[in-house]
């Protein structure tokens, strides 16, 4: 083996035997603390149900546990609980027909001031889903 390779191997061996120390300012504890604080916050859907101004339902679901289409279907199901059989049939009738009743239509609202999206369904009672950050 060439001599320069043997010297290089000896230098690497010497370097690997040195103890590794870090200055106090470079310890990982503050980094881990800030990472865990950030990790504790999660984005969730907050679903509220109201009958008039009275809150009748409140639930929080993490975003990763429900898709947007399932969320919309959930809002339709919650709003449809109080409907009669005829109202349910009318809610699923074709749009622009005499029988159509828009009580189960999902209304998507974009709140530019708060920079969030809301989904609403139902008239009275009605249900709303909003994206929130939970600590």
0.75 exceeded by the pTM? no
Give residue-wise pLDDT tens across range 104-121. Answer: 999 998 887 877 889 999
CA 62, 66, 71 angle in degrees (round to 5)? Answer: 110
pLDDT at 5: 58
Q: Which residue has the higher pLDDT, 97 or 14?
A: 97
In degrees and rounded to multiples of 5, residue 123 shows phi and psi of -110, -65
Q: Token pair for residue 63?
A: 């975003």
């Amino acid at each position: 083996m060439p001599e320069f390779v043997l010297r290089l191997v000896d230098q690497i061996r010497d370097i690997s035997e040195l103890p590794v120390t870090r200055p106090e300012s470079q310890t990982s504890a503050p980094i881990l603390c800030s990472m865990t604080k950030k990790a504790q916050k999660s984005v969730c859907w907050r679903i509220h149900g109201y009958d008039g101004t009275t809150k009748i339902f409140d639930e929080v679901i993490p975003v990763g546990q429900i898709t947007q289409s399932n969320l919309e279907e959930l809002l339709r199901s919650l709003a449809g609980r109080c409907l009669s059989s005829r109202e349910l049939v009318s809610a699923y009738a074709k749009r622009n027909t005499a029988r159509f009743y828009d009580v189960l239509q999902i209304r998507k609202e974009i709140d530019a001031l708060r920079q969030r999206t809301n989904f609403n369904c139902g008239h009275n009672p009605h249900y709303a889903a909003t994206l929130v950050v939970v600590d």
